């Protein structure tokens, strides 16, 4: 029993180190932004900052949840201007994704 506790503690502590390192480099959130009427397709938005808090980005993907696979090519917008706001990058991505969302009958 003591050996199992030591192994679990080692894996747990070892597993935390890379996560802390990743969190220092990027701030990311994922949000479901809409779904089709029957629930087959769901649109997800991944958004946040790359390289610390210097580059805001937004990526919108559509998933067929019945088959557990993404469909179509994701829409991705990365802020290029210095001081560009995350909200404006997210709005641009949603505007670019509208045709794809309509194609899969997803309401946002």
pLDDT in tens, 46-94: 999 887 777 899 999 999 999 999 998 999 999 988 788 999 999 999 9
Grouping H, G, I as helix, E, B as strand and the rest as coil, residue 103 is helix
The whole-number average pLDDT for the span 20-35 is 72
The Cα 27–Cα 51 span in angstroms is: 9
The answer to whether the Cα torsion of 107, 47, 90, 59 is positive or negative is negative
Instruction: Write out the two tokens for 96.
Output: 């670019």
Q: What is the pLDDT of residue 26?
A: 62
Q: Where are the domains of the chain?
A: 26-103
| Beta bridge mates, 46 | 30, 59
Whole-model pTM: value is: 0.72
The Cα 85–Cα 5 span in angstroms is: 46
């Amino acid at each position: 029993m003591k050996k199992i506790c030591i192994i679990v503690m080692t894996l747990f502590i070892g597993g935390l180190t890379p996560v802390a390192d990743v969190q220092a480099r990027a701030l990311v959130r994922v949000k479901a932004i809409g779904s089709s009427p029957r629930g087959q397709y769901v649109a997800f938005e991944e958004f946040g900052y790359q390289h610390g808090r210097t580059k805001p980005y937004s990526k919108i993907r559509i998933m067929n949840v019945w088959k557990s696979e993404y469909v179509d090519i994701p829409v991705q917008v990365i802020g290029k201007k210095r001081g560009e706001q995350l909200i404006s990058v997210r709005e641009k991505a949603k505007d670019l994704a509208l045709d794809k969302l309509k194609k899969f009958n997803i309401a946002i």
